[in-house]
Structure 1
Amino acid sequence: MSQRSERRGIHVDQSELLCKKGCGYYGNAAWQGLCSKCWREEYQRARQKQIQEDWALAEKLQREEEAAYASSHGSQSQSPAQPSQSQPSLTPFSKFEEKKTNEKTRKVTTVKKFFSPSSRTAPKKGTTSMSERERDEERERREKFQGRRESHGETLLRDLKGIFTQNWEMSSPTEESHEGKSHSPSFTRQPSVETDRVSRDFVDFLKNLQKPGREIHKQSRAFIESMANKKDLGADELSECVQDFYQNMSDRLMSHFKGSSEKVERVMDQVEKYIMTRLYKSVFCPETTDDEKKDLATQHRIRALHWVTIQMLCVPVDEEILEVADSVVKAITDIIEMDSKRVPRDKLACITSCSKHIFNAIKVTKKEPASADDFLPTLIYIVLKANPPRLQSNIQYITRFCNPSRLMTGEDGYYFTNLCCAVAFIEKLDAQSLNLSPEDFERYMSGQVSPRRQDDPGSWTDSGSSINPLISQLHHNLDVLSSLEKRQQQVVDGAMALQTELNEWQDSVAREVQEILEKYPLEIKPRASAIDAENVENDRLPPPLQPQVFAG
C-alpha cells in the first residue's frame, strides 16, 4: 500500500482550511466553513429574515386574537343574561387560546423579543371572571401599540451606540473615582485573585496611553456593566455584543492612532484580556447552549478510540527518541492546559505552543521540516492521547469571543483551524481512515475485541493483507527491551572489570614503591651546628690579628 493511499482518510487539502466564500481568510467548522467576517454577514442576513418572519407571525397572532376577542365580545353582549347559551361561543375562543399557546411555545424565544410580558401570556385560572379577562386584554393591546416597536437586534445596537456616544476625550478624575465605586453587582460580588490582577494590569497598561487610556477603561467598564443586564440572551447574541464592541473599539483606536495597526492590536489584546476575564464565568459554556452535551459526546468518542495506535494514523513520529518523546509530552500538556485559561488569546497561545511542539517532533524524527500532511495526523494523535477537558466548549468560546483578526489570519488562526479539523475528523473516524476492515473497526469500537489484549486470539489475527500493526509493535518493544537488557549487562560487566583493574593497579604501585625503598634506603645525616664545630685544635691557632695604630 502506497503512502498516498495510507493517508487517504486523513489528508486535508490546504484550500479546505480557507473560507468557502473565497475571501482568503481561514474558515471554521463552527461557522460552516466560513471566516468570522463572512459568517457575521450571513448570520446578520439570516437574523433579519428571522426577525421579519417573527414579526409576520406576531401580527398574524394579533389579528387572530383581535378577531376572536371581537367574536367573543359580540356573542356575550347579545345574550348577557343567558350564561348557558353563551358557553358555546366561548368554546371556539378556548380552542384558539390553545392553538395560540402552542404557536407561542415554538416561537417563545423570538416573540418575547417584541412583546413585553403581560397577564395574557400567563395561564388563565378558572376563577377569573370575563370582565377581568377583558380588562387584561385591553391593557395588553394598549401596551403593544404604544411607542415604537423594535427588534432585538436594534436593542443591542442601541446599547452599543450608547456606550460609544461620548466624545473620545479624557474624563475628569472625579468621574473616574465615581466610576470606580459603581461596580456591577453580578460581576464584582466575589472578585477572584486573577480578576483583580488583570484589572490592575489593565489600568497600569492604560496609564502609558495618557489621554485615551482613561476613556478606554471607562468604555470597557460600561460595556461589562451593560452585559450584566443581558443574561437572558443566547450565546450567539452575546457573541454579537462582544464582536460589535471589538469592532467599534478597534475603529476608534485606528482613527486615534492614525492607522497604526500594531498599536491598535496591542491595545485590543489588553481590552480583550480585561473584558473576557470579567465575563468568563457568565459566557463560557452558558446554559442556553448544548456545549456541555457536546463535550461529553466528544470525550466519550475519544475514550472509545483508545485503541488507535500511532501506526494506524500514519503519524511520522518516533517516540523512542528522547527529544521527540519530550515534545509529545509538552504538546499534550499544552492542549490540556488550554482549559485553565480564561482569555481566548491565551487559549489560542496554548494551541499554538502545542502545534510548535508537534512540528519539532516531526522535524527531529524525519530530520527535515514537517509538512501539513504530517502535521494534521500528528495533531489528531495528540488530541486522542490527551483527551482535553471541555474541548468543544473551549473551541466554541474561542470562536465566539476571540478577536476575529486572530482567527482569520496568522499562525494562531492556522493552528486553530487545524484543531477544528482534527476534532471533526475524530467525530467522523471510520475503518477506511485507519486502514482497517469494517468488521475489525466495529469490534474495536464496541469493546468486544481490544488490539492491546493478548487473552483474545481473535484480536491478534491478520488485518487485511498485512500483519496487524499491534503485533509488530509488540515484537519491536520486546526487541528493544532485550537490547536494553544486554546493554545493561555489558555496562555492569565493564564496571566490574574496571573495579578489578583499579584494585590491581593499586597493589602493583604499592609493591613497586616498597621495592624501591628496600633497594635504596634513605640515610638522613645530622645537621652541623657550626663551621668549626668539629675542629678540636682551636687552641693551637694563633690569636687573631688586631688593628694597630702607629704614631709618627
Structure 2
Amino acid sequence: MWTDKPRGIRVSQQELMCKKSCGFYGNPAWQGYCSKCWRDRARAPGAHPQDSRASSDGTPVTFSKFEEKKNTEKSRRIHTVRKLFWGNPSSAKPDPIDIRISPLKAYQSLEPGDFPGFLKVLRSPPSQRLQSRCTAFLNTMEAYHDLPVQKQSDLVQDFYQNFAECFNGLPESQVHQVMEHVEKLIMTRLHKWVFCHDSCDDEQRDLTLQRRIRSLNWVTPEMLEVPFPERKTGVTGDPFLPAITAIIEVDAKRAPQDKLACVSKCCHHIFEALAMSNSEPANADDFLSALVYVLLKANPPRLHSNMQYVIRFGLPHSLMAGESGYFFTNLSCAVAFIEKLDGPSLNLSPEEFEGYMQHKRAPSAGHRRKQVAKSSQHLLEELKARQESLDQGMDALSTQLHQWMETVTAQIDETMATFALVHKEIRAQSQDSPNAEERGSPSPAQTDC
C-alpha cells in the first residue's frame, strides 16, 4: 500500500558524498560524483559522450562521421582559443621569478573578501603579467562566446587550474582566497555570455521547474513535517521569510561565489528558524524538509540556470567540501525531491495527490486539523515516553537517596558512639589529674626541713 512507503525526505550523510568515496560532496547533476571525479570520468580516454548521446536520443548512426568531423572542428577551435591566451606548450609554464615570487607577499596580506584590494594588487607592476593573462582570457572568451557552454566551462576550469599554479608558494587556504577573487573577476564579466547559453536547454528547464513548483503551492508545512514555532514563543508570521528572501537573491548575483553566499545565507536562516521551533538542535531531515518548503514558497527565478552556472563555472573546492559544498548539495537534493514529489512522500494517496495537483481539492481546515492532531499525538507519545523515563529516574534517585540516608545515619551513629567513648575517657583523665597532683606535692613540714 501507499502508506507503507517512508514519508518525507530521508537523506543520510553518506548519500551526499561522492560515489567514488573520495571524501568530497557529490551532486545529482554529476550523477552522484564530485566535480573532480565527474570531469575525470568525462575526460577518460575510453569515454565517448557524443556517441552515447547520439544512440540515446535516436540520432541515426549514419551521421557518426558528420558528428566526428564536427567534434574535430570544435577541438581545433578550442586548441586555437587556448593557444591565443596560453601560448605554445613550451611557453605555457609561468615564469618562476616575475610571477610566482614577486607578487606573493602582496597577495598574502589580502583579507578574505577584500575584492577591491585584490584588484589593486593585480594592477600593480609586479602582477602585470597575471593581469595580462586575465585580460587576454576574457577577450578571447568574449570573441568565442558562441562555443558550446560545456566547452566554455572546460576553458574556464582549465584557466582556474593553470592560474592557481602561479600561487604554489602560498598556503592552500590563501590560494583558495585568491582564486575566489579571480573567479569573481572573470565570471562577473563573462556572466552575460555564458549564463543560460543558447547551446543548452537551461531556459526550458527553468520554465519546467517553475511550473512544477507553482503546481505544488498547496503543499503545507505539516505535509513536509516542517516544525514551526509554537504560539507561546511569540513568533509571528512565517519564520522562514528571511530564508525565502535570501534564495530569491541568488538570481541577482553574477559571480558563482556570490550565488553560493546567498545559498549559505538562506540555509543559515533556515537553521535559525528551526532553532526557534525545536528545543533540540535541528537534524539533517528537518533541514532538508525546511529547504524544500522554502523553495516551494519562494519559487526562485531561473533556479536551474543558476545551479548549472555555479556547477559549470564555480571553483571546484567551493562545491566539493566545506559549508558551501554541503549547502549546495542539499539544495540539489531538494530540487531533485521536488521534481519527483509524489503522494506517499506527503502521506497522501495517489488519488488525493492528483486531486491537489489538478486543483480539484485544497487542504481544508479539517485536513490541517488532522495533520495537527497527528503531530500532537506524536508529541504526546514522545512526552509520555519522556515521562516514563523521568519516573524511572525519580525511582532510581529515590532509592539512591534512601540508601544514602541510611549510610549517613549509620555513620552518624558510629561517630556519636566514638565521640561518647572519647568524651568518657577525657572525663576520666580529668578526674585522675587532681589526685595525682595532690599525691605529688610536698607538705609544709617537709619543705621546712
In 2: Cα distance, 1:294 partner to 1:322 partner: 41
Preserved contact between residue 94 and residue 166 of structure 2 (Cα < 8 Å): no
Shift of 1:8: 3.3
* Aligned AA (2:210): Q
What 5-or-longer segments of structure 1 have no aligned partner? 55-100, 117-149, 172-197, 453-459, 461-466, 477-552
Shift of 1:449: 1.7
Aligned 1:345-424 pairs, distance under 5 A: 345-424=257-336
The match for 2:368 is 469
Q: TM-score of the superposition, structure 1-length normalised?
A: 0.57
What 5-or-longer segments of structure 2 have no aligned partner? 54-59, 100-113, 376-449
In 1: Cα distance, 2:19 partner to 2:226 partner: 28
Kindly indicate whether residue 195 of structure 2 is the aligned counterpart of residue 237 of structure 1. no
Shift of 1:369: 1.5
In 2: Cα distance, 1:319 partner to 1:351 partner: 27
Aligned 1:407-446 pairs, distance under 5 A: 407-446=319-358
From 170, 181, 206, the equivalent of 2:122 is: 206
In 2: Cα distance, 1:200 partner to 1:51 partner: 43
The match for 2:10 is 11
The match for 1:481 is none
Q: Which has the larger radius of gyration?
A: 1
In 1: Cα distance, 2:131 partner to 2:96 partner: 12
* Aligned AA (1:218): S
Preserved contact between residue 24 and residue 320 of structure 2 (Cα < 8 Å): yes
How many residue pairs end up in the alignment?
Answer: 348
Aligned 1:283-294 pairs, distance under 5 A: 283-294=194-205
Q: Any idea what SS the aligned residue of 2:24 has?
A: coil
Preserved contact between residue 42 and residue 49 of structure 2 (Cα < 8 Å): no
Give identity over the alignment, percent: 45
Q: By percentage of residues, which structure has more helix?
A: 2
Report the aligned-residue RMSD. Answer: 3.3
Change (3 A) 1:52 1:151: farther
Shift of 1:444: 0.6
Change (3 A) 1:167 1:20: same
* Aligned AA (2:141): M
Aligned 1:296-307 pairs, distance under 5 A: 296-307=207-218
In 2: Cα distance, 1:386 partner to 1:471 partner: 26
The match for 2:138 is 224
Change (3 A) 1:472 1:14: closer
CA displacement 1:38-90 (0-9 Å, x = unmatched): 01101112786358999xxxxxxxxxxxxxxxxxxxxxxxxxxxxxxxxxxxx
Preserved contact between residue 203 and residue 217 of structure 1 (Cα < 8 Å): no
Shift of 1:251: 1.8
Aligned 1:244-259 pairs, distance under 5 A: 244-254=158-168, 258-259=169-170
Shift of 1:326: 6.3
Kindly indicate whether residue 3 of structure 2 is the aligned counterpart of residue 45 of structure 1. no
Q: TM-score of the superposition, structure 2-length normalised?
A: 0.70
Kindly indicate whether residue 72 of structure 2 is the aligned counterpart of residue 114 of structure 1. yes
Shift of 1:112: 2.5
Change (3 A) 1:274 1:393: same
* Aligned AA (2:35): S
Q: Any idea what SS the aligned residue of 2:221 has?
A: coil
Change (3 A) 1:381 1:319: farther
Range with greater deviation from structure 2 (159-168 or 34-43) = 159-168
Greater relative CO (CA pairs within 8 A, separation 6+): 2
Aligned 1:97-246 pairs, distance under 5 A: 103-104=62-63, 110-114=68-72, 154-155=79-80, 158-159=83-84, 161-162=86-87, 164-165=92-93, 167=95, 170=98, 202-206=118-122, 211=126, 213-246=127-160
Preserved contact between residue 51 and residue 151 of structure 1 (Cα < 8 Å): no
